[in-house]
Structures are given as C-alpha cells and as structure tokens.
Homo-oligomer: A and B are copies of this chain.
C-alpha cells in the first residue's frame, strides 16, 4: 500500500463553518423582518445544523483534496450544501418519527412545542404546532442546499452534475424514508437485505456516495473515479449504518450522544433484529423490544439475547465485510494513491467508531 501524509482538512472545514454561518446570518436578518417567530424558527434550524458532526462536508473535502482540488472555497460551499440537506432530512425525519429531541437537545419541533406550551397552548395542540414548525424548517434547509450550489462559480457542466448528484441524494433518501415508514408497519422483522437496502437509500447515498462523487466532480476527476467512488461510498455507507445500529444498542451513551435504550424501546428495525428473528432467542427478545417503558434490567437482558443469538457477531462481520468490499473498489489503477490512502483511513474510522 502506498503511504501518504494524512490530508489536512482543517482549512476546508473552517470554510464550511463560515459558509453555514453566513447562510444563517443572512437568513436570520431577512427572517427578523417578518417577525420574532420566524427568527426563532431560523435560529432553531441553525442550532439543529450546528449539532452535526459534519460527516458529509468532511467526506466531500476528503475526495476533493485527495484528487488534487485546490479551490477550498468551492468545496466548502458544496460541503455546506450537503450539510443543509442533512439538516433538512433529519428535521423532517424527526417530524415523521414524532421526535421532539435529537442528541439530547430539543429539535425544531421541540423548541416550537415548548414555545406553544409556554403560551398556554394545550399539550396536543402544542405538539402539532411543533411538528408544523418542523415541516416548514425542513423546507427552508432543503431550499438552502440547492441555493448554495446555484451560486457556485464553476463551469455549467460541473454545476449541473453537482445538482444532479444532490437531486439523486434527495431522491434516494426520500425513497428510503418511505420504505422505512412502511417497514415500521409490517409485523415481524424484515429480512436483512431489506434493512440494508433501506439504510443505504435513506442515509448512505446522501452521506457517502453523493458527497464523495460531488467532491470528485468538483475536482475534475474522470468518470471512472467518480463511478468507483460511488461504489466505495455505497459499501462504506452500509458499513457505517450497521455500526450505527450496533452503537444504538451496545454503544456507550457518552460516545453516541443518545440513550442506548432508545433503539430498543422504539423497537427499531435493524440488522440485529432481522438476524435475531431467525433464532430461538426471538420469542423472548421480541417481547422486550418496542416497549416504551423498557427498564435498564430488561434492556440488559435484550442485549444479552442479541449477543447469545449471534446477532452482534453477525452485524460485526457485516461491517467488516462491507468495509473490505469498499476498500476493494479503491484497488483499481484509476484511483490515485492519495485518494486510496485517505479513503482507507475513512473506512478504518467508520469501522472503529465508538470503540
């Protein structure tokens, strides 16, 4: 394997923050003219965006810089567009899941539910008001994502390909969200393949495939490289999602920022559950899952069962398998060594998250 010094993303990352900050500053200035509630909406949207780990801008900067891109400003702008898309999708996902918090903080819906409750609106109506604000805020973030691309000073062809990649990301994510909603209504646990497909569409495409490809297109890479990055992104994105599922049950709260009860209480459909459903442990396990009042003791028992039935091992192997597949796509000669080194490191971090 070739060795290369690690990429220095810091300048690009700083610029992403500046682009986002300017975007929200301008929006808040305009919003303030329409009244305090609208300003609050933009503020809570900015707070939602601020809580992110910038996974997508970083992955975009990685492919862009490793492919020799030098216009950090342009890459930061596209990275910020993906971050706004992410914000839009999680704000709307929370509306769909009727969630009022994210990462332990009130989300947009939570803030607006709180404002309504403080104004004396009764609980049910206050919740509805919160969710309505979430619908509106997500639309604004989605619009912002396309707007950041619009004003990019690049060749028309590059701009159109970037817009197409962003569009494809929205398209896949919407399809995945719909499949997720549908799966939640099906009795029993769906097959592993269906879970992986849903997770790929809902999250992996816009989080990995699309930003990797956008970085490459912006850097002027060949179509071969863009295609290979799509394949790498697909596989590493799936690995990342399965790690998420593992962390959602076995992760330390301090590392994940969310209670390791919540996936169990919600009865979230994951590859762990799909695997467990095929084993004798399922009858005891299925009685515990999805109980909103699951105790710490019951959660511990559910974890024990997921280990005993082999679901944890199965998921961990899936992670390794998909990460290895992802690396394989980088072995083609079309992939420059610097990119290979950088994305091997991304794969390692994805696999070892939360450890």
Contact = CB atoms under 8 A, between A and B. Distances in A.
Interface of A: 27, 30-31, 34-35, 37-38, 41, 88, 92, 95-96, 98, 116, 119, 121, 125, 128-129, 132-133, 135-136, 138-140, 142-143, 146-147, 150-151, 156, 159-160, 163, 167, 170-172, 174-175, 177-179, 181-182, 185, 201
What are the 3 closest A-B residue pairs judged by CB atoms, nearest first?
A: A146-B146, A34-B175, A96-B132
Give the secondary structure class of A's interface: helix
B178 A37 contact: yes
24 contacts: A31-B171, A37-B178, A37-B179, A38-B174, A41-B174, A88-B139, A92-B136, A92-B139, A96-B135, A116-B185, A125-B185, A132-B181, A135-B138, A136-B174, A136-B177, A136-B178, A139-B142, A142-B142, A143-B167, A143-B170, A146-B147, A146-B150, A146-B163, A150-B159
A92 B170 contact: no
Nearest to A146: B146
A139 B92 CA distance: 9
- How many identical chains are in the complex? 2
A35 B150 contact: no
A88 B88 CA distance: 15
Contacts of A37: 178-179, 182
A92 B41 CA distance: 17
Given A129-B185, A143-B142, A171-B30, A135 B95 contact: yes
